Each structure stands twice: as structure tokens, then as C-alpha cells.
């Protein structure tokens, strides 16, 4: 006899839900079947993309004309609690079309902000309402997915923080959005976006690095305090390798998702374009002292990013807090590896690569001709033009997929998958230590990486390099979940 679900004995899961109410219940429902419309607290926001001015480089330099959300770089920090329903009205006052992509958030496909693939771009003067549930807690960000090299490069981005229902203990929760800019002598932005040099090499790397839209000399800290520092790399092409001299930062989340708390390899926090890293740092220095944060990702180009300047006040505590650093898991489906379908993705092209040619607009095209058309990269032998294309493969909904990605180029590529969060299983055949959840995985030159995820979010999803010039130069693809 069929049983009414309400008459079933309560499972542990139901008991857990009973304690946390309907909001939590909506988190565990299959995607697309959300009760949250009725139950979740709503969080409404307005973003207006348009021209503005920002004092990026300090008082001794003129203001820089930028494109910004609500007039500021970065745009406003949107901060909600896990399970909230976000309603964000985006108005376009630029003189070109735009969209907004909610990077790392597992939204329904129609809310993913990919022009022509998931929505009609927002025309100048128009408003589009994005609406989705914040299913996962963590550090995310938002940015256009249309003409990204220029729109992101001129300052259109902002942080989106989803707080855990039970956050870890810290004295302060601080966000640093990192970016770099190519500024001319008058502090205006060099308008050589998408030039072929950047596009075929490492992307657009600037000459001015900002934290939250400003070149900073120092940030104030207090001896003895515990800071949760959320790093977001919003740069087009620059990778960061941060050393917090004299301190021992602990990585607690990658791309927003919890990871076994650990010290970064070699004490250096590497963060590629679009990636996020949450750190916990105990400020163990003396009152009145300073310590330096150095970025030495490019070894010959190491520089001082900023100083941490301790207040003269007595230490907040004698020794570091003993509170647990582990964040609660997000409701991401665990990959079923024994029954996974496997696919291979090969990244090719770029300068100093071996690629002879690739399929471009349906025709086999040699590298020289590709370059004449301003294209330089391929995924599985195909150069992508725009966002609408045949998927490189189709996944059955609910099935686990393992993708073996091989970087056949001489360059770094942070590869971003939309709509899903994956585990990074291995690098060059060696299992990863933390099987970290990510939405953007960095591949070093010639590196091979395996990722795994449950294809539980239906739609056509981008899988692309987040060095925005590589994306513009052809390094993007889609995969379909049907
Ligand atoms: Cu790339």
C-alpha cells in the first residue's frame, strides 16, 4: 500500500529539519523543486551598472573613470544568510549590453547570466530581475559575462557573501577583493582591452594592484584578534601568491566551500582569477608593530601588497582562540565515483604551444589564420566564438561525471564550471590532499587535473578559462545536463 510521506517514520534527516525549519528544508530539495518561494526570507537588492569615478591610486593621483555597480569599485557587498532567497534587480546604464553572473552560486540556469545562452542581454536602459536561493554558504562574487575583458576590467564586480547559519568564531569578518589595473600616467584605464599580446599570452596583467578598489599602504589590525579574511580575485589575468609575513594563515574554505583547515603549501596563498580563499589569521604580532603582505606569484616581480599595522592597544587575548575552524558542509551532492561517466577535456593553443590549428566556425583553421581573427585557444580542438555553441558533451541528470582536464599549453588556466561545484580529485595522477570543492580549478602549464561532480542542475553550462582574455580568445565550451 502506498504510504503518505507524512506517515513515514521520521528519519534522522527529518529530525534535523524539524529543528531548523522550512528554510533548511528547501536546501535539501532537488534543484528546481524549491519550497523556498514561500518560506525563505527574501533579500532584495538593486544594482545599477554604469560609468563612475574611483580614486584607485591614492590622493596624489587623479580619479579614474571606471564602470561600476552603484558607483563604487567594488560594487556593494551583498551579504545574506544561507537559505535566503535573493532578488537582485540589475539596471544597465552603460551604452552597451550587459549581464550579471553570480560566480559560484548554484543558480537555476535561467539566472546564470550568460548572454544569449541563458538570457537575452540587458540592453542599455533596461532592468533584469535575478532571483535565486543562496543554497550554499560561502564567499562568492558577481560580474558581467558579456564583453567580460572590458566590463570586468573597467571595474564591474562585487562580493556576494552567504553567511553560514552557524559561523565560526572570529573577531572580525573582512573581505578583500583583489584586482589589478592597467593605468596610464593620468590614472585613466588603458583601453587596449583584448589586444592580441594579452590574449595569446597570460591575459591582461596591470600595473596597479588594489584591495577593495584602492591602493592601500596599510590596514589596521589589533594584536591578538582572529580575523576571517575572505579573498576574492577579480582580476582579468593576474594570479596572486600572498605571504603574510610572520603569521600563519589557515585556509578554511576554497571557492566558498569548506575545506579541512590547513596551512597553505609553502606558506603561500595562491589565488587565480575568479577563485576565492577564506583564511583565518590570528594576529600574533606586537602592539604598535607592522608586518607585510607580499605577493610573489611571479617570482621576479614580487612586491609589497600592503602592511598590517597593529594598533597600540593591548592584545585582545594572550594566546590564540582555541575555537574550531571547521565550517559546516554545504548541501552539495557527493560524487558517486564507481558509477561515474568519464570525459576528457584538452586545453590547447596560445604562444609557445604546439597547436597547429583548430575548428573555428565549423572549419578546420590553421593557427596563423586563427590569430589573424584574434583567436588563440581551443577546448577539445574547437575555438569558441560567443556563448552559444554545441555542448562538448551531454550528461544525464543526476549522474556523476569525472572530467580529466589536460592543459596542453604553456600557460596557467583557471577553469570555471557554471551551475555546479566539483571536487578536485587528482593532479598529475596524484590524489589531492583535501579533495577540495571548487568551481574554478587552476591548471599549471602542462598539468592534468581530474574533477568530479553530480550533474544535478539541468541546462547548458559554461566551462571556460577565467583568464578573461583566454576566454575571449576561444577558450570556452559548454556542457549540457539533460
Ligand atoms: Cu586560460
Instruction: Supply the pLDDT for residue 386.
Output: 86
H helices then E strands: how many in the chain?
6, 34
Q: State in Å: Cα 397 to ligand 1 middle.
A: 28
pLDDT score for 473: 97
Q: How many angstroms separate the alpha carbon of residue 211 from the centre of ligand 1?
A: 23
Q: Measured in angstroms, how far is the CA atom of residue 405 from the centroid of ligand 1?
A: 13
Cα(219) to ligand 1 centroid in Å equals: 32
CA–CA gap between residue 436 and residue 426 (Å, rounded): 10
Share of the chain above pLDDT 90, in %: 87
How remote is the CA of residue 402 from the centroid of ligand 1, in Å? 21
* Closest of 97, 205, 77, 215 to residue 151, by C-alpha: 97
CA of 42 to the centre of ligand 1 (A): 37
Tell me the CA–centroid distance for residue 246 and ligand 1, in Å: 33
CA of 442 to the centre of ligand 1 (A): 9
Mean pLDDT of 442-463: 98
Cell (9 digits) for 346: 584538452
Task: For residue 141, report the distance from its CA to the centre of ligand 1, in Å.
Answer: 19
Q: Which stretches of 173-319 are DSSP H helices?
A: 196-200
Alpha helices, H only, 32-171: 36-39, 148-153
Cα 415 to chain centroid, rounded: 10
Q: Which of 14-23, 27-36, 343-352 has the lowest mean pLDDT?
A: 14-23
Q: How remote is the CA of residue 478 from the centroid of ligand 1, in Å? A: 15
The answer to whether 94 and 49 are in contact (CB under 8 A) is yes
- What are the grid coordinates assigned to 17, written together? 529539519
Q: How far, in Å, is the centroid of ligand 1 from the Cα of 22? A: 42
Q: What angle do CA 190, 196, 199 make, to 5 degrees?
A: 90
Question: How far, in Å, from the CA of 202 to the mean position of ligand 1?
Answer: 7
Give the model's confidence band at 299: pLDDT under 50 very low, under 70 low, under 90 confident, else very high. confident
CA dihedral 444, 74, 65, 216 (to 10 degrees): -80
pLDDT, mean of residues 188-203: 96
DSSP of 297-346, one letter per residue? SSGGG-EEEEEEEE-SSPPS-SS------PPPPP-PPPP-GGG-EEEEEE
Q: Residue 6: what pLDDT?
A: 31
Distance 205 CA to ligand 1 centre (A): 13
What pLDDT sits at residue 385?
86
CA of 430 to the centre of ligand 1 (A): 23
3-class SS at 401? Answer: strand
* Topology, domain 25-163: Immunoglobulin-like (2.60.40)
Cβ 122 vs Cβ 92: under 8 Å:
yes
Distance 467 CA to ligand 1 centre (A): 5
- pLDDT for 39 equals 67
- Distance, CA 108 to ligand 1 centroid (Å)? 26
> Closest by alpha carbon to 99, among 455, 387, 480, 482?
387
What would the mean pLDDT of 69-86 be, rounded to a whole number?
A: 98
Using 50, 70 and 90 to split pLDDT, how confident is the model at 13? Answer: very low
**Dist. CA 254 → ligand 1 center (Å):** 19
How many angstroms separate the alpha carbon of residue 436 from the centre of ligand 1?
21
pLDDT class of 354 with cuts at 50, 70, 90: confident
Ligand 1 centroid to residue 294 C-alpha, Å:
24
Position 38 scores a pLDDT of 52
325 CA to centre of ligand 1 in angstroms: 33
Whether residue 193 contacts residue 111, with contact meaning beta carbons closer than 8 Å, is answered with no
Q: What is the arithmetic mean of pLDDT over 430-453? A: 98
Pairing, β 422-427 against β 448-454: antiparallel
Give the residue extent of every domain in the chain.
25-163, 172-310, 337-481
Backbone phi and psi for residue 233, each to the nearest 5 degrees, phi listed first: -95, 105
| Mean of per-residue pLDDT scores for the chain | 92
**Ligand 1 centroid – CA 353 distance (Å):** 13
Q: Residue 36: which pLDDT band, with cuts at 50, 70 and 90?
A: very low
How far is Cα 144 from Cα 78, in angstroms, rounded to an integer? 16
| Per-residue pLDDT at 19 | 33
Report CA(249)–ligand 1 centroid distance (Å): 28
Hey, how many other C-beta atoms are within 10 angstroms of the C-beta on 236? 29
At the topology level, CATH places domain 172-310 in Immunoglobulin-like (2.60.40)
Question: What is the sign of the dihedral through the CA atoms of 30, 31, 33 and 36?
Answer: positive
Rounded distance from Cα 288 to ligand 1 centre (Å): 43
With 50 as the cut, is the pLDDT of residue 8 above it? no
Is omega for the bond preceding 74 within 30 degrees of 0, making it cis?
yes
Q: How far is the CA of 66 from the centre of ligand 1 (A)?
A: 25
Whether domain 337-481 has CATH 2.60.40.420 = yes
> Cα–Cα–Cα angle for 330, 133, 476, nearest 5°?
80
What pLDDT is recorded for position 347? 98
Q: How remote is the CA of residue 443 from the centroid of ligand 1, in Å? A: 9
Does the pLDDT of residue 32 top 70, yes or no?
A: no
Cα 416 to ligand 1 centre (Å): 10
Q: How far away, in angstroms, is 297 Cα from ligand 1 center?
A: 16
Higher pLDDT, 403 or 300: 403
Stretch (H or E) spanning 101: strand 101-103
Sign of CA dihedral 449, 452, 453, 458: positive
The predicted-structure confidence for 417-436, as pLDDT tens digits, reads as follows 999 999 999 999 999 999 99
Mean pLDDT on 112-127: 98
CA dihedral 187, 188, 193, 195 (to 10 degrees): -60
Query: 149 alpha carbon to ligand 1 midpoint, in Å?
Result: 13
pLDDT at 27 over 80: no
Q: Is the pLDDT of residue 24 over 60?
A: no
Q: How far is the CA of 122 from the centre of ligand 1 (A)?
A: 27
| CA gap 88, 372 in Å, rounded | 40
Q: Do domains 25-163 and 172-310 have the same CATH topology?
A: yes
Taking the model in full, what pTM does it have? 0.91
pLDDT of res. 268: 98
Q: How far is the CA of 215 from the centre of ligand 1 (A)?
A: 26
C-alpha dist (Å) from residue 381 to 346, 367, 375, 384? 8, 11, 13, 10
The torsion angles phi and psi of 300, rounded to 5 degrees, stand at: -85, 0
User: How many Å lie between the centroid of ligand 1 and the Cα of residue 475?
Assistant: 7
Pairing of β 42-54 and β 64-69: antiparallel
Amino acid at each position: 500500500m502506498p504510504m503518505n510521506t507524512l506517515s513515514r517514520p521520521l528519519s534522522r534527516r527529518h529530525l534535523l529539519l524539524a529543528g531548523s525549519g522550512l528554510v533548511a528544508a528547501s536546501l535539501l530539495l532537488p534543484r528546481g523543486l524549491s519550497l523556498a518561494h514561500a518560506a525563505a526570507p527574501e533579500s532584495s537588492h538593486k544594482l545599477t551598472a554604469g560609468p563612475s569615478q574611483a580614486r584607485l591610486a591614492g590622493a596624489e593621483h587623479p580619479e579614474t573613470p571606471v564602470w561600476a555597480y552603484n558607483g563604487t569599485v567594488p560594487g556593494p557587498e551583498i551579504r545574506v544568510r544561507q537559505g535566503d532567497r535573493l532578488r537582485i534587480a540589475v539596471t544597465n546604464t552603460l551604452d552597451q549590453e550587459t549581464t550579471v553572473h553570480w560566480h559560484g552560486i548554484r543558480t537555476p540556469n535561467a539566472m546564470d547570466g550568460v548572454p544569449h545562452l541563458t538570457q537575452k542581454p540587458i540592453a542599455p536602459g533596461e532592468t533584469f530581475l535575478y532571483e535565486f536561493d543562496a543554497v550554499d554558504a560561502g564567499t562568492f562574487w558577481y560580474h558581467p559575462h558579456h564583453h567580460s575583458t572590458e566590463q570586468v576590467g573597467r571595474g564591474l564586480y562585487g562580493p556576494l557573501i552567504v553567511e553560514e547559519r552557524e559561523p565560526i568564531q572570529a573577531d572580525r569578518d573582512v573581505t578583500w577583493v583583489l584586482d589589478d589595473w592597467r593605468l596610464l600616467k593620468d590614472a585613466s584605464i588603458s583601453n587596449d582591452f583584448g589586444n592580441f599580446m594579452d590574449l595569446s599570452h597570460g591575459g591582461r596583467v596591470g600595473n596597479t594592484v588594489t584591495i577593495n578598489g584602492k591602493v592601500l599602504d596599510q590596514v589596521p589590525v589589533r594584536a591578538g584578534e582572529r580575523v576571517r579574511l575572505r579573498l576574492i580575485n577579480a582580476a582579468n589575468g593576474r594570479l596572486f601568491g600572498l605571504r603574510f609575513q610572520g603569521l600563519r594563515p589557515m585556509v578554511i574554505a576554497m571557492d566558498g566551500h569548506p575545506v579541512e583547515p590547513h596551512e597553505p603549501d609553502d606558506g603561500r596563498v595562491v589565488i587565480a582569477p575568479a577563485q576565492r580563499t577564506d583564511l583565518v589569521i590570528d594576529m600574533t604580532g606586537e602592539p604598535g608593530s607592522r608586518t607585510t603582505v607580499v605577493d610573489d606569484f611571479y617570482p621576479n616581480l614580487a612586491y609589497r601588497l600592503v602592511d598590517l599595522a597593529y594598533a597600540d592597544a593591548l592584545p585582545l587575548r594572550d594566546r590564540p582562540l582555541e575555537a574550531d575552524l571547521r565550517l559546516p558542509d554545504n548541501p552539495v551532492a557527493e560524487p558517486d565515483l564507481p558509477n561515474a561517466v568519464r570525459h576528457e577535456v584538452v586545453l590547447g593553443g596560445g604562444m609557445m604551444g604546439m597547436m597547429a590549428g583548430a575548428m573555428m566556425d565549423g572549419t578546420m583553421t590553421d593557427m596563423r589564420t586563427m590569430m589573424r581573427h584574434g583567436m588563440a585557444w581551443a577546448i577539445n580542438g574547437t575555438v569558441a566564438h560567443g556563448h552559444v555553441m554545441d555542448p562538448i558533451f551531454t550528461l544525464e541528470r543526476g549522474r556523476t561525471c569525472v572530467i580529466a582536464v589536460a592543459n596542453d599549453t604553456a600557460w596557467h588556466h583557471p577553469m570555471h564550471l557554471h551551475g555546479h561545484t566539483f571536487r578536485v580529485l587528482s593532479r598529475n595522477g596524484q590524489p589531492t590532499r583535501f579533495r577540495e570543492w571548487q568551481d574554478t580549478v587552476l591548471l599549471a602549464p602542462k598539468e592534468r587535473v581530474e574533477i568530479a561532480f553530480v550533474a544535478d542542475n539541468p541546462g547548458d553550462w559554461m566551462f571556460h578559462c577565467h583568464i578573461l582574455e583566454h576566454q575571449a580568445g576561444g577558450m570556452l565550451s559548454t556542457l549540457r545536463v539533460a
